[in-house]
A and B are shown apart, each in its own frame.
Chain A
Amino acid sequence: MAPGVERSFTAASTIEEALAARRQGAAVLAGGTWMMRDPRRGGELPEAVVALHRIPALSKVEIEPDHVVIGAAVTHAVLGRALHAAVGFEGLVGAAENAANPGIRRVATVGGNLCVLDFAAADLAPALLVCEATVELETFEGAKLLGISDFLKDRHTLLAEAIVTRIHLGRDLVASAHIRLPLRKAGDYPVAIVSIGVDKDKRCRIAVGSVEPVARRWTALEQAMRASPASALDPERAAELALEHNDFQGRDGKEAEGWYRRQVLPSLVKRGIAALLKTGGLAWL
C-alpha cells in the first residue's frame, strides 16, 4: 500500500452493505487466517477490505429434518459442534474438527475455506462435494445458487462479482467419512484428502482434495463401485478399484510431490470405507 494511504475497513452489518463495499473493490475478509498471511507469501494486504463477521445471517447453522443451511461466516469449530450428532454428516464434522489446529478452527470460516483460490488443501471442499452442497452467492444482480462442483471450478470468475453467503445441504447421506493425510499430526496441510459418503440409494460418493489444485469428485471410482455393488463397501476391494481408476494428476508442492499425493489415494480410500463401516448410519441400509 502506498505510504500515507489509509486502508479502508468496512465491518458490514448487512449483505447489501458488504456487496456495496465489494462493488467498490473491497476484498472480503472472513476469519483472516489466509489473508493475514499474504505478507508472509510476499504479497500485500488489500487496500480495502469488507468484514462479514457482523452479519447475523451469515453466522448461523440451521438444521432442519430435510436440509441444513450453513452461513458463510460460521467457523470450523462451530460447524463441527452444530453437526456433531447429525447422522450422515460424520465426514463434514471430521473435516471441520480436524483441519489445521484448534485455534485456527475457532477463527477460520466455511466461506473462507471455499473462497481462497490458491488453497488446494481445504478440508471442507471435498467433504461438501460429497454432501452435494449448493452454494448461495449474492451477486451484483441478485442471489444465485450453484452446485459446489461448478462453484469450485468457476469461483475465480464468480467471486469477482459475488460474495458467498450460505451453503445448503440435503440430508440424503446415511453415513460419511473424511480421511486426511498430513505429514505430522498437527498444523501441516494434508498431502491428500478423501471424503466418502453413502446415500439412501446405497450409492457411494467420493471426493478428493489436496491432490490436484482444486478438489473434485472421483467419478471414475464412483462408477466402478456402482458397477460392482457387492464389493462396494469392502475396504480391500475399494482400494483395488481406486488403484485401477486413479485418474488424478498430482500437484507438486512443499509438503509432497505429485506422484506421492496420487499414490496414497487407494490407501486413503481403504481407510475411508473402513471408517464408513464403523458409523451407525449404515445399519439403516
Chain B
Amino acid sequence: MVVTFQLNGEDCSFHGDPMTPLVDILRRERFLTGTKAVCREGFCGACTVHVDDEAVPSCLKPIGLVQGCAVTTIEGLSSGNQALHPLQASFEAIDAVQCGMCFPGMVMSLSAFMRDNPHASRPEIKAAMVGNICRCTGYERIVDAVADCLDQARKAGRLAGGIDV
C-alpha cells in the first residue's frame, strides 16, 4: 500500500505494510531519530509527534491512518539553523534536559498543550504531562520550563491566538 502524507512540511510517501507504526517509519526510513521508541505501548510518551496538530503516540499510530495527514516531529519544530521553539529554549535556559530520552516527547506534548492552554496553571501543566514519563524524574524543572515559557509569552503579548508551535 502507498501512503502519502506531509512530514515536517514536506511531501512524503511510504510503500509497505499499512499497519507499520509511524514511529518506525520516522526512525528507520526517515532517520528522524529524535522520536524515541521506548515502551511501544502508549504509556511513556517518548514517541509523541503531532498529527494534524494533535500530540499523539506514534508507536500506536498505524501509517495507514496517516494518509493525507500532516506529521510534525521534534526535528520539525526547529531545523537547528533557526531559533528554537520557545519551549525548547526554555528547557535549555532552565537546564531541564537530563538524559534526553523523554525530552522530545515532552516538548511535542507540551508545545501543543501550551498552544491550546496559554493560561494554564501548574496543576494543569502537570495533568498534561502524565503521559510523558521521565526516568530521571526531572519533572519539576520541566514544569518550571513550561510555566516560564507561558509567562514570557504573556509578557510579550503573544497569547491572542495561542503560542505558535
Q: A interface vs B, CB < 8 Å? A: 6-7, 9, 11, 29, 31-33, 36-37, 40, 45, 49, 51, 53, 100-104, 106-107, 185-187
Minimal Cβ-Cβ distance residue in B for A30: B65
The distance in angstroms between the C-alpha atoms of A36 and B22, with both chains bound, is 11
The distance in angstroms between the C-alpha atoms of A206 and B26, with both chains bound, is 45
Q: Is A187 in contact with B43, judged by CB distance below 8 angstroms?
A: yes
Output the residue of A31, A36, A186, A187 with the most chain B CB within 10 A.
A36
| Least Cβ–Cβ distance between B13 and chain A, in angstroms | 15
The stretch of B51-59, B79-87, B93-101, B152-160 that contacts the partner chain: B51-59
Q: Is A103 in contact with B48, judged by CB distance below 8 angstroms?
A: yes
Residues in A neighbouring B32, C-beta threshold 8 A: none
Residues in B neighbouring A186, C-beta threshold 8 A: 130-131, 133
Minimal Cβ-Cβ distance residue in A for B129: A102
Q: Is B131 in contact with A187, judged by CB distance below 8 angstroms?
A: yes
Residues in B neighbouring A40, C-beta threshold 8 A: 40-41
Q: Is B64 in contact with A33, judged by CB distance below 8 angstroms?
A: no
Interface of A is mostly: loop
A107-B60, A187-B130 as given contacts; A36 in contact with B45, CB under 8 Å: no
Q: Is B72 an interface residue (CB 8 A)?
A: no
8 Å CB interface, B7-36 against A: 17-19, 21
The distance in angstroms between the C-alpha atoms of A101 and B127, with both chains bound, is 9
Additional 14 contacts, C-beta under 8 A, given A103-B55, A103-B131, A107-B56: A6-B1, A11-B64, A11-B65, A32-B60, A32-B62, A36-B61, A45-B19, A51-B64, A51-B65, A53-B65, A100-B42, A104-B57, A104-B60, A187-B130
| Least Cβ–Cβ distance between B45 and chain A, in angstroms | 6
Output the residue of A7, A29, A53, A100 with the most chain B CB within 10 A.
A7
Q: Is A102 in contact with B55, judged by CB distance below 8 angstroms?
A: yes
The distance in angstroms between the C-alpha atoms of A37 and B42, with both chains bound, is 9
8 Å CB interface, B113-135 against A: 113, 127-128, 130-131, 133
The distance in angstroms between the C-alpha atoms of A9 and B64, with both chains bound, is 7
The distance in angstroms between the C-alpha atoms of A6 and B16, with both chains bound, is 8
A29-B62, A32-B60 as given contacts; A104 in contact with B42, CB under 8 Å: yes
The distance in angstroms between the C-alpha atoms of A6 and B130, with both chains bound, is 38
Residues in B neighbouring A103, C-beta threshold 8 A: 42, 45, 48, 55-57, 109, 131
Q: Is B67 an interface residue (CB 8 A)?
A: yes
Q: B interface vs A, CB < 8 Å? A: 1, 17-19, 21, 40-43, 45, 48, 54-57, 59-62, 64-65, 67, 109, 113, 127-128, 130-131, 133
Partner of B61, one of A6, A9, A32, A187: A32
The distance in angstroms between the C-alpha atoms of A68 and B55, with both chains bound, is 28
Partner of B65, one of A6, A32, A45, A102: A32
| Least Cβ–Cβ distance between B146 and chain A, in angstroms | 14
Q: Is A101 in contact with B19, judged by CB distance below 8 angstroms?
A: no
| Least Cβ–Cβ distance between B16 and chain A, in angstroms | 9
Residues in A neighbouring B21, C-beta threshold 8 A: 36
Q: Is A185 in contact with B130, judged by CB distance below 8 angstroms?
A: yes
Residues in B neighbouring A45, C-beta threshold 8 A: 19
Residues in A neighbouring B43, C-beta threshold 8 A: 101, 187
Residues in A neighbouring B62, C-beta threshold 8 A: 29, 32, 36
| Least Cβ–Cβ distance between B124 and chain A, in angstroms | 11
The distance in angstroms between the C-alpha atoms of A285 and B165, with both chains bound, is 47
| Least Cβ–Cβ distance between B25 and chain A, in angstroms | 14
| Least Cβ–Cβ distance between A103 and chain B, in angstroms | 5
Pairs of residues from A and B, 7 with the lowest C-beta to C-beta distance, nearest first: A101-B131, A186-B130, A9-B18, A36-B60, A9-B64, A187-B43, A103-B131
Residues in A neighbouring B113, C-beta threshold 8 A: 102
| Least Cβ–Cβ distance between B9 and chain A, in angstroms | 22
The distance in angstroms between the C-alpha atoms of A100 and B42, with both chains bound, is 9
Q: Is B56 in contact with A106, judged by CB distance below 8 angstroms?
A: yes
The distance in angstroms between the C-alpha atoms of A143 and B15, with both chains bound, is 37
| Least Cβ–Cβ distance between B12 and chain A, in angstroms | 18
| Least Cβ–Cβ distance between A21 and chain B, in angstroms | 13
